[in-house]
Amino acid sequence: MPNHNGISLSEALYSSRGRSDLPLSQQLVADVLDHLQGDHDALKASSLTCRKWVHRCRYHLFPRLCLSPDRPLDKIAEFFDILSSKLCTIHSAPRMLFIYSPNHQWISWGGRPERVQGSEGWLEPLIPILDKLTSVTELIGWEITTWHTRKTWQRLLQTTSFTSRITNLTLMGNKYTSIDPFLGSLYCFASLQHLQTDTPSLNLSMSCNASLKNKLGAPNGQEANTLVPLHNLRILTICDATSEPLTGSWGQSMWRWLLTSGTRLSQIHLGTITIINQDKSTKKLREFSRYLQFLGPSLQKLQIFINGDPLATCE
């Protein structure tokens, strides 16, 4: 425990232990513990000092829950057993769930790292725990559409008690046969405010008309009408990717869907783009320009980058 001028933190905060005439302000305690958010040793010691401090200490000690098959399967199973235990009390601490599920994983074999295929079903024990993660509002899914995680991802999308709390969603490194399952997954997050994604370099096509519906990813097996606007979605961030977010087939489909569904964004952040042939690029920019015209004054910020440098920032 850090000691300043010969007085430990526990002594400074609880010098009136055993006395009822000098009650200690819990707001003061919270402010001090918040100040220690970067000092894990101090937070661990503080959580053992007073039971009332435990919740605030855990808030800073366990801000995120990261899951990946990179570690030995027995260790992963042991971790899930801890989270599933009735005695586990850290469920309310994490605010972010990060799932990284590469198609291959690295293990140590004979003292040397070796690449092997991922294990199917390694993420399945997460599903019963989702309801307990009551403070998670941010979800990051990195390569969660791989063969050994795809089924679990679909089950996660159907856990509405969890998905309804997600306001920030990041989907990176995922592959889709069409844009439909991607859009279907978005409709599972009713409170979604900020979407961050890359643009898969796939030959995607999408026809926005009155009959367009998507069953993939819809909760409880119901159809999700992709023409209904996502009313809470306000920020779209498309990171550096293999397909141009403005003129690529995926990007054009995104702008066409946003326009047809009537989803109004207030901020658009675009990653690296490259315009090689001006005439062809101008034609492919029609979907994007039509959507900008639709937004009008509701668009508060538009930021575009070329090779990492901001081309334009409009506010």
**Boundary (domain end) residue, out of 61, 91, 108:** 61
| 155 within some domain | yes
Q: Which residues have CB under 8 Å from 177's CB, separation 6+?
A: 202
* 60 — pLDDT class (breaks 50, 70, 90): confident
- Whether 241 has a pLDDT exceeding 70, the answer reads no
Q: What is the pLDDT of residue 126?
A: 93
| 11 within some domain | no
Q: At 241, which CATH number?
A: 3.80.10
Q: At what angle do helices 54-61 and 40-47 cross, to 10 degrees?
A: 150
Tell me, yes or no, whether 82 and 193 share the same domain. Answer: yes
Q: What is the pLDDT of residue 281?
A: 59
Q: What is the pLDDT of residue 97?
A: 96
Q: What is the pLDDT averaged over residues 272-282? A: 59
**Boundary (domain end) residue, out of 7, 36, 61:** 61
**Boundary (domain end) residue, out of 7, 34, 61:** 61
pLDDT digits (tens, 9 = 90+) for 144-171: 887 678 889 999 999 999 999 999 999 9
User: Could you tell me the pTM of the whole model?
Assistant: 0.78
| 176 within some domain | yes
- Whether 311 has a pLDDT exceeding 70, the answer reads no
Q: What is the pLDDT of residue 280?
A: 57
Tell me, yes or no, whether 116 and 229 share the same domain. Answer: yes
| 1 within some domain | no
- Whether 315 has a pLDDT exceeding 60, the answer reads no
Region of residue 220 (left: phi > 0; alpha: psi -120 to 50; beta: else) = left
Backbone angles phi, psi at 250, to 5 degrees: -65, -45
pLDDT digits (tens, 9 = 90+) for 78-104: 889 999 998 888 888 999 999 988 765
| 8 within some domain | no
Buried b (16+ CB within 10 A) or exposed e, 12-42: ebbeeeeeeeeeeeeeebeebbeebeeeeeb
Q: What is the pLDDT of residue 153?
A: 92
Q: What total number of domains does the chain contain?
A: 2
Q: What is the pLDDT of residue 258?
A: 94
Tell me, yes or no, whether 35 and 182 share the same domain. Answer: no
Top mean pLDDT of 40-44, 104-108, 257-261 is at: 257-261
Tell me, yes or no, whether 30 and 98 share the same domain. Answer: no
pLDDT, greater one: 266 or 253: 266
Tell me, yes or no, whether 30 and 122 share the same domain. Answer: no
Q: Which residues pair with 272 in a beta bridge?
A: 305
| R_g of the chain, CA atoms, integer Å | 24
Query: Could you tell me the residue range of the domain that residue 266 belongs to?
Result: 63-314
Tell me, yes or no, whether 239 and 261 share the same domain. Answer: yes
The two three-digit tokens of residue 101, written as one number: 């599920």
- What proportion of the chain, given as a percentage, has pLDDT over 90? 31
**Alpha-helical runs (H) found in 99-248:** 150-157, 160-163, 180-186
- Whether 229 has a pLDDT exceeding 50, the answer reads yes
Q: What is the pLDDT of residue 103?
A: 64
Q: What is the pLDDT of residue 236?
A: 96
Tell me, yes or no, whether 54 and 158 share the same domain. Answer: no
Tell me, yes or no, whether 100 and 225 share the same domain. Answer: yes
| 4 within some domain | no
| 98 within some domain | yes
Tell me, yes or no, whether 180 and 114 share the same domain. Answer: yes
- Whether 1 has a pLDDT exceeding 80, the answer reads no
Q: What is the pLDDT of residue 46?
A: 82
- Whether 137 has a pLDDT exceeding 70, the answer reads yes
Tell me, yes or no, whether 40 and 183 share the same domain. Answer: no
Tell me, yes or no, whether 106 and 230 share the same domain. Answer: yes
| 110 within some domain | yes
- Whether 293 has a pLDDT exceeding 90, the answer reads yes
Tell me, yes or no, whether 32 and 152 share the same domain. Answer: no
